[in-house]
Amino acid sequence: MADGKRKYQTFRIFTVCAAMALTAAAQAMAGPPAPGRARALIHLVRQDCGSCHGMTLKGGLGKPLLPENLADRDAEALADIILDGIPGTPMPPWSNELNRDEALWIARKLKEGFPHETP
């Protein structure tokens, strides 16, 4: 019985590790959005996010979204905030407007210094 339980636990660990590896690979493979969608995302961040975080993203009602202010957060965590919002604050969820890849693209661009002009 103990041998069967050990095999099952090993199988579960393998399954979880394989799922994590596939998820990481899929995220790494996600490329930038198409040029038209990138322009729409830049516009969304500048206008919609900018209405709270400041048009230059230096802060306002919401916190600054400049690289130096986001240095301690990884893009995955920022994408979660973008998609899920922050309950109890004015930060709304954007999951109805954005998919995970788009939220990650925005998060990475924010960490790099968000573009001022559309491509």
Identify whether the C-beta of residue 67 lies closer than 8 Å to the C-beta of residue 57. Answer: no
Percent of the chain with pLDDT over 70: 71
Structurally, at CATH architecture level, domain 34-119 sits in Orthogonal Bundle (1.10)
Token look-up 């899920």 returns 84
The per-residue DSSP string of the chain comes to -HHHHHHHHHHHHHHHHHHHHHHHHHHHH--PPPHHHHHHHHHHIIIIIHHHH-TTSS-SSSPP-SHHHHTTS-HHHHHHHHHH--TTSS----TTT--HHHHHHHHHHHHH---SS--
Task: Give the residue-averaged pLDDT of 32-43.
Answer: 95
pTM of the model: 0.73
What mean pLDDT comes out for the span 1-21? 52
Q: Where are the domains of the chain?
A: 1-30, 34-119
Q: Assess whether pLDDT exceeds 80 at residue 55.
A: yes
Averaged over 22-34, what is the pLDDT?
Answer: 60
